[in-house]
Structure 1
Amino acid sequence: MVRQQLEVLNALDVAKTQLYHFTAIVIAGMGFFTDAYDLFSISMVTKLLGRLYYHKVGAPKPGVLPPGVSSSVTGVALVGTLVGQLFFGWLGDKMGRKKVYGLTLLVMVVCSVASGLSFGSSPKGVMTTLCFFRFWLGFGIGGDYPLSATIMSEYANKKTRGAFIAAVFAMQGFGIMAGGIVGVIVSAAFDHAYPAPTYEVNALASTVPESDYIWRIILMFGALPAALTYYWRMKMPETARYTALVAKNAKQAATDMAKVLQVEIEPEEAKVAQIAQDTRNSFGLFSKQFAKRHGLHLLGTCSTWFLLDIAFYSQNLFQKDVFTAVGWIPPAKTMNAVQEVYRIAKAQTIIALCSTVPGYWFTVAFIDIMGRFAIQLMGFFFMTVFMFALAIPYDHWTEKSNRIGFIIMYSLTFFFANFGPNATTFVVPAEIFPARLRSTCHGISAAAGKAGAIVGAYGFLYSSQSKDPEKTDAGYPTGIGVKNSLIVLGVVNFLGMAFTFLVPEPKGKSLEELSGENEEDDDVPAAAPSRTVPV
C-alpha cells in the first residue's frame, strides 16, 4: 500500500527547472571542483618534490621520491577522504545537511593553505608535515561527497534529478583541468623568470631555489574556489526531505521550499505527525529490515565504486609515468625540474580537456534518457576493452610511430570512466536509500570507493616503481610494470561490470518510491512505539 506523498515533496518532484536548480549545482559543484583540484594536483608535483628534497647523490635514487614517500604523499589525502566520507555522511543524517555543509569547506580552505606552507628542517620533516595537512584536507573533501550528492538529490525534480546530481559531480572535470592549467602557468612563469642552469644529470636535481615555490603555490591555489563558495552554502536552506521526513518539522519545510519554488505550500503538519508515528519505516542501518530492503543495493553501490576507483585513481595518479614510458613526456634527464612540472601539467590538461571533461558532460546529457544502469554497464565494458587493447600489445604501442594511438586509446578510458561509472556511482547512492540514512549510505559507498583509490595509490604506484638499476630515469615504471598494471585494471573493470547488476535503476522515480518510504508494508513488523532507532 502506498501512502500519499507530502505536498512539499511532490512540489519538488514535479517542479520545472528553475534558477534555484542551477544555483544549487554551482554551489555544490564548486566543492567538487576544489576536491578534484586538491586530490589530483599532487600528481603534478611529486617529481618536483623528489628533485628538491631527495637530490643528494647518496640518496637511494637521487632526485626521486622513495616509493614509500611517494605513495604516502599521493595517497594520504585519500585516507583522509575515506574517513571524512564516513564521518560527515553520518553527521549529515544526524544534524542535517546544511549544518555541517559549511564545515567541510572551512577544513578544505585551511588545509589547502597549510599544505602549501609545509615546513621542516629536513626532507623527512617537510614530507611529514605535508602528509599531515593533506590527510585533514582529504577529511574535509570527504564530507563534500555525501552532503553535496544528498542535497542535490533532495532539491531536484524526479525528471532531471540524474542530470542535476551528475552536473555537480562533473565539476570534478573542470577541477582536474584547472589543476593542469595552474601547473602550466606557474611553472612557465618560474621557468621564464629563473632559467635553470646546468645541473647534475645523475642526481636529477635542479639548482633553482625558486622551484620550491612552485609546488606550494599550486597546492595553495585550491583554497580559493572553496573560500568563494562558503557564503552561498550558508545561505542555502535545509532540504525539505530532511526537515519533513527526518526532523519532522512540516511548517519549516513548507516555508523553506515556498521561498525556493515561489509557490504556496500547505504545511501538512498532521500528515507529518502521522508519518512520525509510523514505526514500520523507521528501521536502522544495522537492522534486518534494512538488509532485506537495501542490503544488496548497498553492496552494489559499494562494490562498483570500490572497483571503479581502483582503476580511475590509478590512471589519474600514474598517468605521468605512463606518458613517460611511452615517450610522450621526455626523460627527466633532458629537463630541469620546472620544465618537468610544465610538461606533466600540460599533458594532464590536454587529457582533461579532450576526454575527462567531455565524458562527464555526456553523462549529464544522457543519464535521464539512457538511465544509470545502461551508462554504468557501458562505461565499465569499454574501459575493460581499452585496457586490454593497450596492455596485450603493449610493446607495439611503445614504438615511436604508435605513441599517438596509445594516447588516444588511453584518453578513451578516461572518457568512458566519466561517461560511465565514475559519474553513476556518485549519483545512484543519493537516490535509492531512505532520507534518514541517505547521507550515511552515500558516505559508506563513497568510502568504499576511496578504499579502492587507496589500493590504486599505495598498491599500483608503489609496485610500478622501476627496480631496474640500468633504467636511466630511476623511479619511472618499466614497460613490464605498466603492462601488468593495465591488465589488472582491465580485470578490475570487468568485475565492476558484473557487480553493476546489483544496482537498481532510479530513472523517473521519486526518492520516496525508490527508498520505500511511501510504502505501508504490512509484511514488515512494526517496531515498539517507544523505541528510538539509531542510525
Structure 2
Amino acid sequence: MDSDSERQPLLSQTKHQDQPNNGGKSHSHKSELDEHKQLLNNALYPADAFSGTSYWADLPASEQLLWVKNKAREEAKREYRAVQQLAKAGILRPLREYCRTYALPGAGFFVEGYVLFSVGNIMPLFKAVWPQCFDDTVVCSEQSIKAIKYMEIVGILCGQLVVGYLGDAIGRRWGLIQDVCIMLVGTILLTSMWGLSLQGWTIMYAISIFVFGLGVGGEYPMTGTSSIEGMKGSEDRQHRGRSACLAFLMQGWGQLANQVVLILLTVATSSSHSLQPPYSEQETQITFRVSFAIAALCLLYFLRLRIKNTNVDSGIRANRTQNNSAGYDWVSFKFVLSRFWARLLASSLCWFCSDFAFYGMQIFRNDLLQLVTGTSAREADTIWLYNLINIFCQLIGYYMAALLIDYKPYGRRRMQTCGFFAQFVIYATISFLYPVLSQPGPGAKAFQALYFFANFWVQFGPNSTTFLLAAEIFPIGIRSTAHGFSAAVGKVGALVATVSFAYIGDRTKFILASVSTLVGLFLTLVFVPDTTGLDLAEMQRAWGFVTQGDVADYHGVAVHQQHLSTWERLVRKRMKNYEIDSDRKQRLDELREMYAKSIEDVNSANHEGGEIDEGLVRYFELEAKLRREGLETVSE
C-alpha cells in the first residue's frame, strides 16, 4: 500500500498521466497498474482520513495522536504557503480572500449582531436622555419597554421556524435573499420610527425590531446550511467547522462595529465632542438613526451579492435528483422524528441551555456592568467602554473555536463539553461568592474578570458548536428545517431567560445560569454525536441507507463509535454494523454504478452535482483496458 504522502487527498485532484511509451509493454502495464491503484486509494482511502487502509479513529491511541499531529502540521504548512502566494500577488490579497470566503457568507450575522445587540448598547443613552420613559417609566409603561426585548427574540424565533422550512422547500438561495429583504425593511423601520408620544415610539420600536428579527431568524438555518454545503472532499473533512464558525463569528464583529459606531457618532454630535454627559435629544436622535441607516446600506450591498450567487442550491438539487423528488423531503423528516429523535433532542435542548445562559447575561449585561462598576444606568460612556472589553473577549472565543473545531482530538463534542463545564464552574462560583463579589473594590474587579471569562467560554464552546452541529447531523433534505427548529428552541431559552430574569435578583440569575449549563453539559455527554473529520457526503450516504430501510447494510465510518453519541453507542448499538472491509466493496460497487450512470447521461450527472469526476472516469477506463488485456485489476 502506498504511503499517505504519496497519495493526493482528493480523487478530483488526480490528473491524467501521460500514456506510457509503447516501446516497453511490461513497463506500460506496471505504470497503468500503479496509476489504477493510486486512483482507487484516493477514492476509498483519502490521505486526510486514512493511514494506509486504516481509518484514523481505528488507530491505537498513541499512533492516532501522532498521525493527527502530522496531518495538522502538513495542512498548516500547505495553508501557510497558500497565504504566501496570495501575499506575493498583493499585500492585501490574503485579507481580501478571507473576506470573500468567510466574512461575506456571514454578512447576515454581521448585521444581526450590529442591530440586535444595539438594543442593549443604546439603552444607556436612551435612559440618560429620556429617563421619564426608559428609566423611571413615568410616561411609558414598563411592559412596553420590556416588549422591545421580547419582540426581538419572538421575531427571531418565528423566522427560524418559517425560513427553516422554506429553505428545504424552495432552496437556500431564495431563503438567503428573502432574509436580507426582510432585514432591510426592518432597518428602514428602525431608522425612521416615530410616535406622537414616547409611549407610541417605544411601541413602534418593538414592532420594528420584531420585523428585523424575522429576517435574522432566517439567517440561522440559511447561513448554517449554505456555509458547509459548498465544500467537497478534503476541504470538507478538514475545514467545514472552521468555515461555519468564521461565518457565524461575524456576529461578534457586528457587535463591535455597533458599539464603535455609537461611540463615534456620540462624540461627533456632542457639543463637547466627548462621551461625557449630558446628551441632548437631537444628538441622540441623530446617533441612533444614523447607526441604523448604516446597517441598511450594508444590507443593500449584501442583497446584490446574494442575488448574484446562483450556486448555493447545488447540493439540495442533487439530493432531489437522486431521490426523484421535486418538493420537501418528508421521508427524511419522518425518519429523523422516529429513529433519530435523540439527535434533534440534543441539538435543540443544548441550544436552549446555551441561549438561556448567554442571552440572559447579554440582555442584562448593562445592569451587571453597573453593579460591578458602580456607575449609573445613565452613564453611557463607562458602560460602553466596559462593553468593548466584553466584546473583545467574545471575539477571542469565536476565533479559538474556529481554530480548534476541526482538530480531531478536540473537535465539536469536546469543545461543547468544555464550554458548558467552564461556564457552570464560573456561574456557580459567582453565585456562591456573590456577597463578596458584588462589593466595590477587589471583589468587583474579580466579578468583572469572571463575567468576561464566562463570555469567552460561551463562544469557545456551545454558542459556536450548537450552530454547527444542528446543520451537520441531519440529512440535506431537511437540514434547514432541523437547524431552524433547533435554533428556535434555543431562542425559547433566550425568551424564558429574558422574561424570568426581569423578576429575579442578580444572584439568582447566576444560579439559574449555572443550572442551565450543567443540564447542557449532561445532554452533550449523552446525546451529542461528534462529526469532526467526517465529511457530509459520507453522512448523506449513510442517511440514504436509513431512508431506504437498509440501515443494517451500511458499514461505513458514519457509524464508527468515534462519530456516535453515548446514547447511540450504548443504547442503540449503532456501531455494530461498522466493517471497513465490507464498506470498501460496497463503495466500489456504488462508484461503478455511478460511473455507468454517467455514461448514460454525463451532462445530467455533472450538472446536478453527482460525485463523478475526472479521476473516477480514468479509474474505470483503466480497469476496462486492463481487463481486455487479461490483467488482474486492483478491485479483483
- Scaled by the length of structure 1, what TM-score is found? 0.78
Of the candidates 543, 546, 552, which is equivalent to residue 517 of structure 1? 543
By how many angstroms is 1:26 displaced? 2.1
For 1:316 and 1:452, locate their aligned partners in 2 and report how far apart those are by CA, in whole Å.
Answer: 13
* Residue in structure 2 matched with residue 151 of structure 1 by the alignment: 226
Which residue identity does 1:519 align to in structure 2? F
1:173-230 superposed Cα distances (whole Å, 9 cap, x missing partner): 111111211121122223345899998xxxxxx6644333333333333223322222
- Aligned to 2:375, the other structure's residue is in SS state coil
Matched, 1:308 2:354: yes
For 2:454 and 2:418, locate their aligned partners in 1 and report how far apart those are by CA, in whole Å.
Answer: 12
Contact 1:46–1:70 (Cα < 8 Å) also in 2: no
Matched, 1:297 2:343: yes
For 2:287 and 2:386, locate their aligned partners in 1 and report how far apart those are by CA, in whole Å.
Answer: 17
Contact 1:81–1:139 (Cα < 8 Å) also in 2: yes
**Higher CA-based Rg:** 2
Contact 2:545–2:551 (Cα < 8 Å) also in 1: no
Of the candidates 342, 359, 366, which is equivalent to residue 320 of structure 1? 366
Matched, 1:490 2:509: no
By how many angstroms is 1:307 displaced? 1.0
* Residue in structure 2 matched with residue 99 of structure 1 by the alignment: 174
Higher relative contact order (Cα pairs below 8 Å, separated by 6+ residues): 1
For 2:435 and 2:111, locate their aligned partners in 1 and report how far apart those are by CA, in whole Å.
Answer: 38
Matched, 1:455 2:496: yes
Contact 2:140–2:199 (Cα < 8 Å) also in 1: no
* Residue in structure 2 matched with residue 426 of structure 1 by the alignment: 467
- Aligned to 1:400, the other structure's residue is in SS state coil
Q: Pick closer, same or farther for the CA change 1:197–1:139 going to 2, 3 Å.
A: closer
Which residue identity does 1:391 align to in structure 2? S
For 1:401 and 1:50, locate their aligned partners in 2 and report how far apart those are by CA, in whole Å.
Answer: 26
* Residue in structure 2 matched with residue 405 of structure 1 by the alignment: 446
Contact 1:52–1:212 (Cα < 8 Å) also in 2: no
Contact 2:266–2:275 (Cα < 8 Å) also in 1: no
By how many angstroms is 1:519 displaced? 2.6
Q: Pick closer, same or farther for the CA change 1:226–1:312 going to 2, 3 Å.
A: same
For 1:22 and 1:197, locate their aligned partners in 2 and report how far apart those are by CA, in whole Å.
Answer: 36
Of the candidates 367, 373, 381, which is equivalent to residue 342 of structure 1? 381
Q: Any gaps of 5 or more consecutive residues in structure 2?
A: 1-9, 14-42, 49-74, 83-95, 553-636
Contact 1:54–1:123 (Cα < 8 Å) also in 2: no
* Residue in structure 1 matched with residue 17 of structure 2 by the alignment: none
Q: Any gaps of 5 or more consecutive residues in structure 1?
A: 200-205, 249-271, 465-480, 526-535
Q: How many aligned positions are there? A: 456
Matched, 1:331 2:404: no
Matched, 1:240 2:314: yes
- Aligned to 2:324, the other structure's residue is in SS state helix
Contact 1:50–1:63 (Cα < 8 Å) also in 2: no
Q: Percent identity?
A: 27
* Residue in structure 1 matched with residue 533 of structure 2 by the alignment: 508
Of the candidates 402, 412, 418, which is equivalent to residue 364 of structure 1? 402
Contact 1:33–1:171 (Cα < 8 Å) also in 2: yes
Which residue identity does 1:308 align to in structure 2? S
* Residue in structure 2 matched with residue 416 of structure 1 by the alignment: 457
Where do 1:92-491 residues align within 5 Å? 92-156=167-231, 157-193=236-272, 208-236=281-309, 237-246=311-320, 248=321, 272=322, 275-276=323-324, 283-285=331-333, 287=334, 289-326=335-372, 328=373, 330-332=375-377, 340-353=379-392, 355-369=393-407, 370-402=410-442, 403-460=444-501, 462-464=502-504, 481-491=505-515
Contact 1:83–1:447 (Cα < 8 Å) also in 2: yes
Contact 2:275–2:381 (Cα < 8 Å) also in 1: no
Contact 1:24–1:152 (Cα < 8 Å) also in 2: no
Q: Pick closer, same or farther for the CA change 1:512–1:73 going to 2, 3 Å.
A: same
1:310-355 superposed Cα distances (whole Å, 9 cap, x missing partner): 11111111111101112x15224xxxx5xx33332222212111x1
Q: Pick closer, same or farther for the CA change 1:67–1:488 going to 2, 3 Å.
A: farther
By how many angstroms is 1:290 displaced? 2.3
For 2:177 and 2:149, locate their aligned partners in 1 and report how far apart those are by CA, in whole Å.
Answer: 26
* Residue in structure 2 matched with residue 69 of structure 1 by the alignment: 144
Which residue identity does 2:469 align to in structure 1? V
- Aligned to 1:160, the other structure's residue is in SS state helix
For 1:282 and 1:119, locate their aligned partners in 2 and report how far apart those are by CA, in whole Å.
Answer: 45
For 1:170 and 1:213, locate their aligned partners in 2 and report how far apart those are by CA, in whole Å.
Answer: 29
- Aligned to 2:193, the other structure's residue is in SS state coil
For 2:135 and 2:246, locate their aligned partners in 1 and report how far apart those are by CA, in whole Å.
Answer: 45
1:254-287 superposed Cα distances (whole Å, 9 cap, x missing partner): xxxxxxxxxxxxxxxxxx3xx438xxx96142x2
For 1:430 and 1:443, locate their aligned partners in 2 and report how far apart those are by CA, in whole Å.
Answer: 9
Contact 2:129–2:281 (Cα < 8 Å) also in 1: no
* Residue in structure 2 matched with residue 43 of structure 1 by the alignment: 120
1:128-173 superposed Cα distances (whole Å, 9 cap, x missing partner): 1111111010000111110011001101212211111111111111
Contact 2:152–2:209 (Cα < 8 Å) also in 1: yes
For 1:459 and 1:241, locate their aligned partners in 2 and report how far apart those are by CA, in whole Å.
Answer: 42
For 1:144 and 1:230, locate their aligned partners in 2 and report how far apart those are by CA, in whole Å.
Answer: 13
1:284-303 superposed Cα distances (whole Å, 9 cap, x missing partner): 42x2x323432110010000
For 1:310 and 1:343, locate their aligned partners in 2 and report how far apart those are by CA, in whole Å.
Answer: 27
For 2:277 and 2:348, locate their aligned partners in 1 and report how far apart those are by CA, in whole Å.
Answer: 51
For 2:97 and 2:341, locate their aligned partners in 1 and report how far apart those are by CA, in whole Å.
Answer: 34
For 2:200 and 2:147, locate their aligned partners in 1 and report how far apart those are by CA, in whole Å.
Answer: 14
For 2:331 and 2:395, locate their aligned partners in 1 and report how far apart those are by CA, in whole Å.
Answer: 40
